[in-house]
Amino acid sequence: MIQETNTGSGLIASTVDAHLRYEREQEGKRPTAFGTALRGSQAYNCARKIGFEMAQVNESEELPYETLIAFHLGQAMHEKVQQSLTAMWDDFEAEAPVDLRPFGYDISGHADGLFTIGDKKYVLELKTMTAFPFKLALKGDGTTTDSPKIEHILQAGIYAYGLEADGIQIVYVSKDASYRDGVKPGMTLEFRFDMDDVVPSVNTTVRELVEQELSRLKVISEEVESGMIPPRFVPDEGWIEDPPRYAASKGYWRCRYCVFNIDCRALPTQAVPVEASTPNIQNSWDPPATEFNEHISFYTSLDDATEEEAK
């Protein structure tokens, strides 16, 4: 008998691993919905990581096999929920395109869903997750009690802002089990907020949170456009002075799973010019040339024309 027990190293696993990496390489860097510099899913993330993504910097870390597999499992569950809602609700729109350029922000994306309840329009945000974060959302850990993660509220809220929806519906689906914690595969949690509802964990309305984050993303975009690498700063953690290595057992979790870890750790915490960075950053730094300014000028001219007609 041949028993291959090391994760990802068996005949089948290594073959699947190679195929998934090939697929990922062929897909390349995923463009934003409307060719904008930023996407809504970047909300509440590290400013430097957002900058690297915007500038299309090459990743310095390789995702492990388990992460690649887990992504596809989560995607399958995600799509099944969308398919079910599409089949059962006449007005449900999956992957609704969102463009925030008319509102003055170079951001776009796709909302997981858009639907109505009565006379109100809601944006759906679906998140599949492992048992541990699901347990925290289910039982509360001091920050998630009575509400989902702030970054999920913001992602849904930004898309609701762009679609001028009345609120957001966030759905968590557990991908695996922790029977000790009462979590089973397929368990679901749902949260609904109107845009002017207060989020209990931060005592701020969804709309106010969104407007604050949109302003932050705009500053990050301006830094990148000026040739500066944004600082290593995360809203829920502050300045990250001593980031751990990739896949380390201890340290701030976002850094431990960041695909830009090596390049980021080579830089100071504060913002730094691209020319003072690593060879990988300098060689791959390429912020997209967007039509944002022309787009805004177009809408400004429309507003001016409307005001002129009103006189």
Nearest 10 degrees: Cα torsion 44, 48, 49, 53: 110
Query: CA-CA distance, 173 to 134, in Å (whole number)?
Result: 8
Q: Where are the domains of the chain?
A: 14-228
Helix 11-27 vs helix 65-88: crossing angle, to nearest 10: 70
Query: CA-CA distance, 85 to 113, in Å (whole number)?
Result: 9
In CATH, 14-228 is 3.20.20.140: no
Query: CA-CA distance, 165 to 116, in Å (whole number)?
Result: 9
Quote the tokens at residue 89. 């609700």
Q: What is the full DSSP assignment across 146-207?
A: TS--HHHHHHHHHHHHHHT-SEEEEEEEE-S-BGGGTB-TT-EEEEEEETTSEETTTTEEHH
Question: Phi then psi for 287, rounded to 5 degrees?
Answer: -60, 140
The per-residue pLDDT for 306 is 46
Indicate the pLDDT class of residue 29, thresholds 50, 70 and 90: confident
Cβ atoms of 133 and 175 closer than 8 Å: no
Cβ atoms of 292 and 102 closer than 8 Å: no
From residue 269, how far is each of 22, 216, 245 by CA, in Å? Answer: 34, 17, 15
Quote the tokens at residue 236. 């829920």
Q: For 243-267, write each residue's pLDDT tens digit.
A: 999 999 999 999 999 999 999 999 9
The per-residue pLDDT for 146 is 56
Indicate the pLDDT class of residue 295, thresholds 50, 70 and 90: very low
Mean pLDDT for the stretch of residues 282-303: 64
Query: CA-CA distance, 141 to 188, in Å (whole number)?
Result: 18
Q: For 122-145, write each residue's pLDDT tens digit.
A: 999 999 999 998 988 887 654 444
- 229 CB-near residues (< 8 Å, 6+ apart): 48, 51, 52, 223, 267, 271, 272, 273, 274, 277, 281
- 32 CB-near residues (< 8 Å, 6+ apart): 38, 39, 107, 108, 109
Q: Is the pLDDT of residue 311 over 60?
A: no
Q: For 199-208, write each residue's pLDDT tens digit.
A: 988 999 999 9
What is the reported pTM?
A: 0.88
Classify 45 as helix, strand or coil: coil
Of 295, 240, 297, nearest to 264 (Cα)? 240
Classify 222 as helix, strand or coil: helix
With tokens 């195929």, the residue in question is: 19
Q: What is the bridge-based pairing of β-strands 238-239 and 233-234?
A: antiparallel
With tokens 């679609």, the residue in question is: 163
Query: CA-CA distance, 96 to 87, in Å (whole number)?
Result: 16
Query: CA-CA distance, 128 to 30, in Å (whole number)?
Result: 20
